[in-house]
């Protein structure tokens, strides 16, 4: 059974860089057919797609975040990372990592439990 | 970006009711997924490719539609179905989600 778990600082100051790690167990991030994605959800609001990475290192990012976001893989640790620079209060949200199944309509069948990141001075 | 509009935004219903939630895309799309989210939890995949029921889920959940109009139907509401539901298009990145439909107990 695939499991994902996000980790990282829960509190940041404006202008700092958000760095989160998604540890994957029960499957290799080097497997084909899957993208590894980050999605966020501000409190009481809907889901926002941040971006994704394939096992080749190929990435896609949301245009509104593209200048600030980097998603990377650490295959030795079976981890996926998210970096978001120059954060503001608008970046306060629960951040999820999720596995996108390319052959199931790009759906997300596996999610982490989510980690709350608060940006406040 | 493709815009996804769900309706209604909220819905009150009773156990045993049949409920339909609609998702409309701003342009024709090929793929549409549905999720259920309960407070404090990650979303859970219900339906993928518009009408394919995720393995292990009860058959009271069904999806249909094509082009720009899609629906999620719950044939007979159970107490555990009261949650927020989201649609998601995967026509091309950036993927977008609907704003959500909160299903509450009447």
Q: CB B43 to CB A46 under 8 A?
A: no
Average pLDDT, chain A: 97
Supply the pLDDT for residue A33. 86
Condensed to tens digits (0 to 9), the pLDDT of residues B66-81 reads 999 999 999 999 999 9
Tell me whether residues B94 and A62 touch, CB distance under 8 A. Answer: yes
CB contact under 8 A, B42 and A63: no
Residues near A103 by beta carbon (within 8 Å), at least 6 away in sequence: A33
Closest Cα of chain B to A87: distance in Å?
20
Question: Which of B35, B90, B96 shows the shortest C-beta gap to A105?
Answer: B90
Q: Do A107 and B88 touch (CB under 8 A)?
A: yes
DSSP per residue, A49-101:
EEEEE-TTS-EEE-TTTTTTEEEEEETTTTEEEEEE-S--GGG-EEEEEEEEE
Task: Please check whether residue B95 is in contact with residue B89, taking contact to mean a CB–CB distance below 8 angstroms.
Answer: yes
- For chain B, percent of residues with pLDDT exceeding 70: 100
pLDDT at residue number B65: 97
Q: How high is the pLDDT of residue A73? A: 97
Q: How confident is the model at residue A101, as a pLDDT?
A: 94
pLDDT digit string (tens) for A19-59?
999 999 999 999 888 999 999 999 999 999 999 999 999 99
CA distance A55 to A36: 8
Residues of B in contact with A60 (CB under 8 A): 93-94
First to last CA, chain B: 36
| Angle (nearest 5°) at CA B30 between B8 and B83 | 30
- Is there a contact between B45 and A105 if contact means CB atoms under 8 Å apart? no
Task: Report the chain B residue with the minimal C-alpha distance to residue A101.
Answer: B48
| Section B80-87 average pLDDT | 97
pLDDT value for A32:
86
Query: Chain B: nearest CA to A114, how far in angstroms?
Result: 7
Of A61, A107, A113, the CB nearest to B33: A107
Test A47 with B43 for CB contact under 8 angstroms: yes
Distance CA B84, CA B81 (A): 9
Residue B97 and residue A46: Cβ atoms within 8 Å?
yes
Nearest residue of A to residue B35, measured between CA atoms:
A108
Q: Distance between the two ends of chain A, CA-based, in angstroms?
A: 40
């Amino acid at each position: 059974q695939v499991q994902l778990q996000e980790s990282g600082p829960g509190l940041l100051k404006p202008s700092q860089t958000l760095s989160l790690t998604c540890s994957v167990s029960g499957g290799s991030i080097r497997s084909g057919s899957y993208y590894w994605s980050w999605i966020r959800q501000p409190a009481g609001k809907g889901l926002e797609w941040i971006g994704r990475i394939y096992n080749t290192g190929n990435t896609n990012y949301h245009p509104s975040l593209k200048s600030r976001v980097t998603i990377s893989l650490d295959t030795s640790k079976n981890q996926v990372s998210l970096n978001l620079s120059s954060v503001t209060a608008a970046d306060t949200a629960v951040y999820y990592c999720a596995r996108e199944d390319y052959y199931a309509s790009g759906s997300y069948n596996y999610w982490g439990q989510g980690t709350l990141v608060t940006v406040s001075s | 970006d493709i815009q996804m509009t769900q309706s209604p935004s909220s819905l009150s219903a009773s156990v045993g009711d049949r409920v339909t939630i609609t998702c409309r895309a701003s342009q024709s799309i090929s793929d549409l997924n549905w999720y259920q989210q309960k407070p404090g939890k990650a979303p859970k995949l219900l339906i993928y490719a518009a009408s394919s029921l995720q393995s292990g889920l009860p058959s009271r959940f069904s999806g249909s539609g094509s082009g720009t109009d899609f629906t999620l139907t719950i044939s007979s509401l159970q107490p555990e179905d009261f949650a927020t539901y989201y649609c998601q298009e995967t026509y091309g990145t950036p993927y977008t989600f609907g704003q959500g439909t909160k299903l509450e107990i009447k």
